[in-house]
Amino acid sequence: MSTRVSPLRRKRHSWAVTLPLVGATLAFFFVLFLPEKRRIAALQDELREKQEFLAQSNVLAATLRRTLDERRKIDDFLRDWQAQAQPAVRSRLLADMSAAAREHQLRTTLFAPSAPVLRRQVAQLPVRWELEGTFAQVHALLASLEELSPHVWIEELRLQQGANDPAALRAELNLLIFADRSGYSD
């Protein structure tokens, strides 16, 4: 005796199996897969954001080191600048300038520091200096002045032929020596 299943019943059987499978698949898709996919995407975004932060932190670390080095240089410059305000330091600077002229075998005809001009934050000490020597000697002295201190400015320089010796030059310098006054200011 063979049992035959009618085609209508077979169709119902196939739907009875297919519908629960489709339902389970949809439930898996909407209940488990999509929420996990969203969570994974959020984690990937967070990871990408943290990787970008780490990449920026390397750049920031280099920038911070460079900034700290610049600040150290500025602090050193300011300490040197503030030390120039002390009369003993200014006197030593004037003595060093005079020694540089002797070292380069220039003859000083006038060396006249004037009274300081007091500004709000800075004091200016004008110096009028007249020298005689060759062009090479004057040039060497100017180079020495530039190396001596960043606080010495050559405001004016006049070169003329020497009165007694045509090979000699007469140099007239108007210098300004700057010193910090911030400790004395209002």
pLDDT tens digits, 32-83: 888 889 999 999 999 999 888 888 887 888 888 999 999 898 778 767 656 6
In DSSP terms, which residues pair with 8 in a beta bridge?
A: none
pLDDT at 90: 73
Confidence band for 1, pLDDT divided at 50, 70 and 90: low
Tokens of 19: 């519908």
Coil, helix or strand at residue 115: coil
The Cα 153–Cα 174 span in angstroms is 9
What is the pLDDT averaged over residues 168-181? 82
DSSP at 123: E
pLDDT at 83: 61
Confidence band for 91, pLDDT divided at 50, 70 and 90: confident
